[in-house]
C-alpha cells in the first residue's frame, strides 16, 4: 500500500513539473498569438527629418549696455537739481549744479581785471594814434608861432602797449582756468539716456567719490547670466536665446549671446554670460529679473520622432513600423533626447510610418488599425 502511495505521489509531482514547466511558455505563446490575431487600434506618424535641440533656462539680471555713473569733479553743496528719476536726457544736458562762492568770485574778479586791461590797451593805442596824427613831419618848416612837436618828438607808447598786452595774456589764461573751474560746477550728462538713480537733493552734499546720479542707455540692454562650468562650454557667442521679463510684461523677445566668460567669478565659481537685447519701448529697467531660454546641441536635418514612440525591449530600443496592416518591430539607435523628441541615428528611414500611440499593446506581427487619437 505504501509502495502504491509513493508511486502515485511521484506521478503527481512529475505531472506537476511537466505541466507546470510547460504551461508558462505555452500560455505566453498563446497570448502572443492571440494578440497577433486581434486588430489593435493605433495612432501613427510618418518619419521625417527636422531640427532638434535641448532647451535650457537661465535666470539673470537686466543691465544697461551704457550705464554711466555721474559724479561732480568738485564736491560741494547742491545748488540745483534739474532732473528726476525716469527723465530722458541728452548728452550734455544739465543735471545739477554745485555751489562754490570762491570759484565764482575768482572768475568774476579775473573777468573784471581782463576787461580793464583790454580797455587800457585800447586807450593807449588810440592816444598813440592821435598824437601821431598831430605830429609835424621832420622835413617840414613851420612858422615859430605854429610850431609843434615833430614826429621824432612824439612819445613812443609801444612799450606800454606791449606791457599791457602781456597783462592781458596772463589775465586771459587765468580767466579760462577760472571759467573751467566754474563749468565743473555745472554737472552735465555724459551720455543720452534715462536717469535711473539719484542720491542727492538740493541743499545736500554731492561727493566726488560716490555717484550722484546714474544715466542709463535703455535702448540697448543685456541680461547677465551666471552659469556652471559644465554648461559654459555649451554656450557659444552669436547664438540666440528667447527672453522673458515678467515685471516688464515682456515675453518671447529675441536676444543674442555677445560674450561668454573665460574665467569664473572668484566668489561664486560661476561663469558670466551676456545676452544682448533691444529695448525700444524702454519697458525693461536695470535690475529687473529676466529668464532666458537657449537652444543647446542644436541639430538640423536629422531624423526625429516622438520620444514616447520608443520602447525598451530587453535593453534594446525598438519602434513599431506599420506596413500592410501589420506592426513590425525595428531596433533603433538614438542620439539627442529632449524628452519630447528624440534623434534616431540609425534603424529608421524617412517616409516610414511608425506607431506613436498604442505601441505598448502590439508585438511584432500584430494586426493594427490606424485611427485618430481620440478613437484609441
What whole-number distance in Å separates Cα of residue 130 and Cα of residue 97? 49
Residue 367 CA to residue 348 CA, distance in Å, equals: 20
Cα separation, 26 vs 32, in Å, equals: 10
The pTM for the full model equals 0.54
Q: Is the separation of the CB atoms in 239 and 220 below 8 Å?
A: no
Q: Tens digits of per-residue pLDDT, 92-141?
A: 999 999 888 777 777 777 778 778 878 877 877 778 777 777 665 555 55
Alpha helix segments (H runs only) across 87-157:
101-134
Kindly list the domain boundaries of the chain, sorted by start residue. 33-52+301-375, 58-65+218-298, 67-134+154-206
pLDDT higher than 90, residue 170: no
Using pLDDT thresholds of 50, 70 and 90, give the confidence band for residue 14. Answer: very low
- Of residues 168 and 373, the one with the higher pLDDT is 168
CATH architecture of 33-52+301-375: Beta Barrel (2.40)
Topology of domain 58-65+218-298, CATH: Elongation Factor Tu (Ef-tu); domain 3 (2.40.30)
Query: In this predicted structure, what is the pLDDT of residue 40?
Result: 93
**What DSSP element (H or E) covers 4?**
helix 2-37
Mean pLDDT value across the chain: 82
Dihedral of CA atoms 182, 183, 186, 187 in degrees, nearest 10, equals: -130
The pLDDT of residue 280 is 81
Nine-digit cell string for 82: 534739474
Amino acid at each position: 500500500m505504501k509502495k502504491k502511495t509513493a508511486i502515485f505521489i511521484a506521478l503527481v509531482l512529475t505531472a506537476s513539473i511537466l505541466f507546470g514547466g510547460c504551461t508558462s511558455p505555452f500560455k505566453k505563446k498563446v497570448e502572443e498569438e492571440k494578440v497577433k490575431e486581434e486588430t489593435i487600434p493605433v495612432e501613427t506618424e510618418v518619419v521625417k527629418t527636422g531640427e532638434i535641440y535641448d532647451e535650457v533656462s537661465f535666470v539673470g539680471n537686466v543691465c544697461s549696455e551704457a550705464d554711466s555713473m555721474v559724479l561732480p569733479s568738485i564736491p560741494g553743496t547742491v545748488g540745483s537739481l534739474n532732473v528726476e528719476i525716469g527723465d530722458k536726457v541728452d548728452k550734455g544736458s544739465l543735471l545739477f549744479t554745485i555751489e562754490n562762492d570762491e570759484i565764482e568770485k575768482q572768475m568774476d574778479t579775473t573777468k573784471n581785471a581782463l576787461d580793464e586791461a583790454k580797455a587800457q590797451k585800447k586807450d593807449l593805442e588810440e592816444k598813440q594814434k592821435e598824437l601821431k596824427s598831430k605830429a609835424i613831419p621832420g622835413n617840414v618848416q613851420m612858422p615859430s608861432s605854429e610850431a609843434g612837436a615833430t614826429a621824432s618828438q612824439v612819445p613812443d607808447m609801444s612799450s606800454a602797449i606791449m606791457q599791457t598786452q602781456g597783462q592781458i595774456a596772463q589775465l586771459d589764461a587765468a580767466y579760462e582756468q577760472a571759467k573751467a573751474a566754474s563749468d565743473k560746477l555745472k554737472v552735465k550728462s555724459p551720455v543720452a539716456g534715462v536717469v535711473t538713480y539719484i542720491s542727492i537733493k538740493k541743499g545736500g552734499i554731492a561727493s566726488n567719490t560716490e555717484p550722484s546720479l546714474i544715466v542709463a542707455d535703455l535702448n540697448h540692454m543685456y541680461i547677465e547670466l551666471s552659469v556652471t562650468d559644465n554648461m559654459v562650454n555649451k554656450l557659444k557667442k552669436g547664438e540666440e536665446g528667447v527672453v522673458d521679463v515678467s515685471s516688464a510684461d515682456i515675453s518671447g523677445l529675441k536676444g543674442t549671446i555677445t560674450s561668454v566668460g573665460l574665467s569664473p567669478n572668484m566668489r561664486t565659481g560661476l561663469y558670466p554670460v551676456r545676452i544682448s537685447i533691444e529695448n525700444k519701448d524702454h519697458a525693461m529697467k536695470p535690475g529687473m529679473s529676466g529668464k532666458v531660454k537657449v537652444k543647446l546641441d542644436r541639430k538640423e536635418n536629422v531624423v526625429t520622432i516622438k520620444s514616447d514612440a520608443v520602447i525598451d525591449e530587453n535593453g534594446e530600443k525598438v519602434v513599431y513600423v506599420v506596413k500592410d496592416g501589420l506592426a513590425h518591430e525595428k531596433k533603433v539607435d538614438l542620439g539627442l533626447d529632449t524628452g519630447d523628441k528624440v534623434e534616431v541615428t540609425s534603424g529608421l528611414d524617412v517616409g516610414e510610418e511608425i506607431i506613436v500611440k498604442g505601441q505598448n499593446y502590439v508585438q511584432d506581427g500584430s494586426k493594427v488599425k490606424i485611427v485618430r487619437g481620440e478613437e484609441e
